[in-house]
Amino acid sequence: MKAKKKTLFLVIAALCAVFLTAGCGKVNIGYVDYTRVQQEAPQIKESMDEMKTRMEDFQKDAEKQLQEEAAKVNSEAEAQKFQELQQQLKMQAAGIQQQYATQVKSKIYAAMDGIAQEKKLDAVVNSNGKDGLITGGVDVTDEVIAKLQ
């Protein structure tokens, strides 16, 4: 859902840029298939594999902690403590996922910015692959993937 909102925002921003500069000459817009970059770029794959490994290790540790605490549950207070531990572990897992999502996003955006400067593009937007809203423009997906080698 957030990705769709972000994509819509980027498309609107690009369109605003086009309208604002309509009389000022040609606007160069590039687009990237963000999904393809996530699937094909080696740096992104590496980050995702690292996250997967870290999450697997975290889940093993969490399961061990939960089993140990579940064995101690004999009262209402201990049951409450067990539920709090479950919540805490869920929040830690979400934090790990968020950390890697932010890392991946910043790598992709840095590559997009570099390509935009190299190709002298005014904007680079997410095309959503074949179903994207962009017509015309320059597809810089391959360049972004190459930059993330």
Q: Domain boundaries in the chain? A: 2-147
Determine the pLDDT at residue 125: 84
Place of tokens 């403590």: 81
> How many whole angstroms separate alpha carbon 137 and alpha carbon 66?
53
The string of pLDDT tens digits covering residues 68-116 is: 888 888 888 888 998 999 999 999 999 999 999 999 999 999 999 999 9
Region label for 18, one of left (φ > 0), alpha (ψ between -120 and 50) or beta (otherwise): alpha
State the CB neighbour count (10 A cutoff) for residue 69: 17
Determine the pLDDT at residue 5: 65
Give the tokens for residue 13.
């921003």
Give the mean model confidence (pLDDT) for residues 12-19.
62
φ and ψ at residue 111, rounded to 5 degrees: -65, -40
Of the two residues 108 and 15, the one the predictor is more confident about is 108
Determine the pLDDT at residue 42: 94
CATH class (in words) of the domain with range 2-147: alpha beta
The string of pLDDT tens digits covering residues 110-132 is: 999 999 999 999 888 887 655 55
Is the alpha carbon torsion for 83, 89, 91, 94 positive or negative? Answer: negative
Residues 6+ away with beta carbon under 8 Å from 119: 28, 30, 138, 140, 143
Q: In what order do the strands lie in the sheet with 123-126?
A: 123-126, 29-32, 138-139
pLDDT over 60 (residue 44):
yes
Question: In the predicted model, what is the mean pLDDT of the chain?
Answer: 84
